Amino acid sequence: MEAAIIIVFVVGYLAITLEHNIKIDKLIPALVMMAISWALISLGIDSFTQWFDSASHGLVTDYTSLDHENRMHLLEETLLHHLGKTSEILVFLLGAMTIVEIIDYFDGFSTIKGFITTKKKTQILWIFAMLAFVLSAIIDNLTATIVLISILQKIIIDRNVRIWYAGLIIIAANAGGAWSPIGDVTTTMLWIGNKVSTGYLVGYLLLPSFVCMTVPTLIATFLPAFQGYIDVDKESKGKPKSNFSSTMLFLGLAAIVSVPIFKVVTHLPPYVGMMLALGVVAIFAEIYSNSKFSLTVIDSEESDENAHHSPVHHSLSKIELPSILFFLGILMAVAALESLGVLFDFASFLKLNTPLLGTEIHDGGVSDLVVLLLGVGSAVIDNVPLVAASLGMFSEPLDNELWHFIAYSAGTGGSMLIIGSAAGVVAMGMEKIDFFWYLKKISWLALIGFLAGAFVFFFTRTLF
């Protein structure tokens, strides 16, 4: 039965990568393989010899001695656990996307767009790469990607040019998220699990992450796609649509930045803070919207267009729900493999059979090459379950260099495939980027940056 579930995952994964060839939206195979995988688990629950408990990050003891009823009870608990964790990400994403859409409703991104006066492609590339690197560490790589691609859409009208910038934004955002405890889901997992502390995480990974972003960006400046100047969108010139555009931009970004602060103070999951941030932004959006309508000339086209709905309702209608459903399907499908212990067995196999590369990380025999392969695996599968498996496998103490290398590899390795990270999935949905286009044009840049940063980490780990 395990073989059948793996086959379902592989076939579904291929259908996702061949989305444009088979003319089927990627969310369909993602949802189908999720449902079939869990159905097969339920039907074959009595045939499995092990079960991975994600809550404790380890295999369930005495699983083979459980009867059918207890196994089904364990299945239900595991399914609810994964649905809860996935829903936390999806609700967080919904909140962030809604705030971004509210900002866009008031044309808030025209403010940042106004700061970017250059039309030279290479200069714009460096501006967005640095913004992605810094913002992702503050508001997480997923939200930073949403914000920057939204701004990018206001600056560059040619989609064929824009997707190149989106590819480099993915690399920079994932690199920036790796050195911050709130910058990526995996670093947050390690932080909450008391495996890394903020000070040592920044000390170990700031320089490697910066190199991971800088090297691909530097190479990209010599590519034909970034030569010359961008075309000016003449229609977007002139006064912003709303007098509150700057206010809503800074209010929205401040609300998103406040989410990790809310988490530190209350110890609640990030999505709770994001819902509070959305509520505050929505209140001001409604107030400013009413003020704008009351002060606008009666026959104004904008007043007539917006008077029939609130800015919040309008923003919710603009959210990319297919991307949300795709995320649900792919994460829950990977959770099925994780629950059967497939990922745990794979990581154990790497640990025992991969030859040591360079200095051995710890007494357990985990080599640099194993962690690098975990980074590559995070691009193919997903970094969250791989890090979860690592938490169950290794017992190194707080701030052991192993955990920091895992944080780097899992955080930045996902850039090598567009579906290998949350930032990539969101960019794929927002810009309709083809899987194979990214594989041909961007993946090699991400690989070079990943390896360059890893070699720098070999140096920085000797400093502590």
DSSP string, 367-390: -HHHHHHHHHHHHHS-HHHHHHHH
- C-alpha 444/C-alpha 216 separation (Å) is 9
pLDDT of residue 20: 65
- Residues 411 and 186: beta-carbon distance below 8 Å: yes
Element (H, E) at 53: strand 52-53
Burial class (CB in 10 A: 0-12, 13-18, 19+), 436: middle
Q: What are phi and psi of 62, to 5 degrees?
A: 55, 35
Minimum mean pLDDT among 14-28, 300-314, 328-342, 370-384: which range? 300-314
Most confident of 4-13, 292-301, 302-311, 386-395: 4-13
Which residue type does 60 have?
V
Mean pLDDT of 294-299: 42
Q: pLDDT at position 206, please?
A: 93
pTM of the model: 0.74
Q: Is the pLDDT of residue 215 over 80?
A: yes
pLDDT at 209: 95
Average pLDDT of 329-341?
A: 84
DSSP characters for 296-317? S-TT-HHHHHHTTS-HHHHHHH
Lowest mean pLDDT among 269-278, 288-297, 301-310: 301-310
Over residues 320-335, the mean pLDDT reads 82
Q: Report the amino acid identity of residue 350.
A: L
Residue 320 predicted with pLDDT over 60: yes
DSSP per position, 402-455: HHHHHHHHHHHHGGGSTTSSHHHHHHHHHHT--HHHHHHHTHHHHHHHHHHHHH
Among 273-287, 314-328, 370-384, the range with the most confident prediction by mean pLDDT is 273-287
Residue 419, pLDDT > 70, answer: yes
Spatial CB neighbours of 148, under 8 Å, sequence gap ≥ 6:
128, 131, 132, 135, 169, 173
On the question of pLDDT at 299 being above 50, the answer is no
Q: Does residue 165 carry a pLDDT above 90? A: yes
CB distance 352 to 157 below 8 Å: no
Q: Which helix (H) or strand (E) holds 58?
A: strand 58-59
- Per the listing, tokens 């097969």 go with 40
**Angle at which helices 185-192 and 198-220 pack, to 10 degrees?**
170
SS3 of residue 166 by DSSP: helix
Identity at 296, one-letter amino acid code: T
Share of the chain above pLDDT 90, in %: 22
| Contact in structure between 459 and 211 (CB atoms under 8 Å) | no
pLDDT tens-digit series, residues 218-233: 999 999 988 888 775 5
Average the pLDDT over 207-228 and give the result: 93
Q: How far apart are CA 126 and CA 112, in angstroms?
A: 15
Per-residue model confidence (pLDDT) at position 309: 64
Would you state the pLDDT for residue 378?
A: 82
**Residues 362-379 pLDDT 10s:** 444 457 787 888 888 888
Please give the C-alpha separations between residue 192 and each of 88, 144, 268, 300, 354, in angstroms, as whole numbers. 15, 22, 11, 52, 29
352: confidence class by pLDDT, cuts 50, 70, 90: low
Residue range 165-189: mean pLDDT, rounded = 88
What average pLDDT does range 267-291 have in this prediction? 87
Q: Please state, in angstroms and rounded to a whole number, the distance separating the CA atoms of residues 314 and 316.
A: 6
Helical packing angle, 121-139 and 141-155, nearest 10° = 150
Q: What is the pLDDT of residue 163?
A: 92
Question: What percent of the chain stands above pLDDT 70?
Answer: 86
Average pLDDT (301-320) is 66
**Total number of residues shown for the chain:** 464
HSE toward the beta carbon, residue 5, CA cutoff 13 A: 27
| Greater pLDDT, 70 or 115 | 70
pLDDT by residue (tens digit) across 100-114? Answer: 888 888 877 777 777
Q: Which of 375, 351, 361 is nearest to 452 (CA)?
A: 375
Chain centroid to Cα 228, Å, comes to: 31
Whether the per-residue pLDDT at 383 is higher than 90: the answer is: no
Which residue has tokens 């808030």? 108
Q: What does the longest C-alpha to C-alpha distance in the chain come to?
A: 75
For the cut 70, the answer to whether the pLDDT of residue 404 exceeds it is: yes
Residue 169 to residues 8, 327, 430, Cα–Cα distance (Å): 32, 20, 13
| Angstrom distance (rounded) from CA 19 to CA 436 | 10
Q: What is the mean pLDDT of residues 159-186?
A: 89
- pLDDT at residue number 169: 95
Strand partners, 229: 120
Q: Are 408 and 453 in contact (CB under 8 A)?
A: yes
pLDDT at residue 303 is higher than 60: no
Residue 28 has pLDDT above 80, yes or no: yes
Helix, strand or coil, per DSSP, at residue 364: coil
Q: What is the pLDDT of residue 176?
A: 93
Amino acid at 76: E
* Between 191 and 126, the higher pLDDT residue: 126
For 147, the 3-state DSSP assignment is helix
At 144, the pLDDT band (50, 70, 90 cuts) reads confident
